[in-house]
């Protein structure tokens, strides 16, 4: 998992072409941010004609992007429950919707009406993509706070030591872990100016203590190791993270930003 310059260039080009509660990215970070979209919910192409349609769509999309001087490698295309709307995944970037003719790319959620509650058809495939991305992480590369007693749940939290909402969540760690929830911090600096501090934390012998110091504003020694922070940042971009904290279950389901421990456990139990 490498944070390559080419991926940054691709993501930057996409946001320039198509545009993009927690601590949001800084303005500098927003300039680099990719499209953010959520995924819909159907399976693999079931017929030859459907596969042919997807191949044609891929060719049209790649041609259109190339004309806009955007080099983006499509990794997968899936039909959605919405007629003539497809889910398109790229290598190293977050996914988007595309119309069947390949003329339009759309970002955001698709909501189905008709039931007593609104149904976000995006959640299923997006969580599948997110689960695959989270599986790339090595536990030893994270800051892990073990559950007290029996572990009932594990959550991944994209965090930044400069983010006030991350500070608030951090203050509740004892209560969260006391409810049987293991918390795994993933570094996600909200801008380049926050990168050095996060790299210093991840290069410290005791990351938990270094994080505690950083949120008080203490200066940390410069990073003296090859940290995984930039790779973690790219991973967050791949799944559509655009602010911190961003909390996910091990199934790849986005649970929300800052929330009280009782709300977190309630969402996990659902």
13: its two tokens: 């080009």
Single out the catalytic residue among 23, 141, 184, 190: 190
Q: Which of 170, 216, 179, 184 is nearest to 197 (CA)?
A: 216
Contact 183, 157 (CB under 8 A): yes
Single out the catalytic residue among 160, 184, 207, 230: 160
Contact 249, 256 (CB under 8 A): no
CA separation (Å) from 122 to 125, 139, 176, 216? Answer: 6, 28, 28, 38
225 carries an active-site annotation: no
190 carries an active-site annotation: yes
Q: HSE, CB side, 13 Å, CA atoms: give it for residue 156.
A: 27
Query: In the beta sheet, which residues pair with residue 159?
Result: 187
28 carries an active-site annotation: no
Single out the catalytic residue among 163, 184, 203, 207: 163
Residues with catalytic annotation? 160, 163, 166, 190
């Amino acid at each position: 998992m490498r944070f390559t310059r080419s991926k940054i260039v691709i993501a930057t080009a996409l946001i320039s072409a198509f545009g993009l509660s927690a601590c949001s990215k800084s303005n500098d970070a927003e300039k680099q941010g990719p499209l953010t979209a959520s995924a819909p919910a159907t399976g693999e192409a079931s017929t030859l004609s459907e596969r042919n349609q997807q191949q044609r769509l891929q060719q049209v999309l790649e041609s259109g992007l190339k004309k806009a001087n955007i080099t983006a490698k499509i990794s997968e295309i899936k039909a959605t429950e919405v007629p003539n709307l497809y889910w398109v995944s790229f290598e190293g970037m977050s996914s988007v919707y595309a119309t069947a003719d390949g003329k339009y790319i759309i970002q955001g959620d698709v909501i189905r009406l008709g039931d007593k509650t609104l149904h976000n058809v995006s959640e299923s495939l997006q969580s599948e993509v997110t689960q695959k991305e989270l599986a790339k992480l090595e536990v030893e590369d994270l800051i892990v706070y073990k559950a007290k007693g029996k572990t009932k749940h594990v959550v991944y939290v994209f965090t930044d030591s400069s983010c006030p909402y991350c500070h608030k969540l951090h203050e509740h760690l004892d209560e969260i872990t006391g409810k049987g929830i293991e918390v795994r911090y993933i570094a996600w600096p909200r801008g380049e100016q926050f990168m050095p501090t996060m790299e210093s934390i991840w290069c410290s012998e005791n990351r938990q203590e270094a994080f505690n110091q950083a949120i008080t504003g203490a200066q940390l020694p410069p990073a003296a190791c090859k940290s995984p922070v930039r790779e973690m940042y790219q991973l967050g971009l791949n799944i559509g993270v655009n602010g911190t904290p961003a909390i996910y279950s091990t199934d790849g389901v986005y649970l929300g930003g800052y929330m009280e421990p009782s709300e977190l456990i309630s969402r996990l139990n659902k």
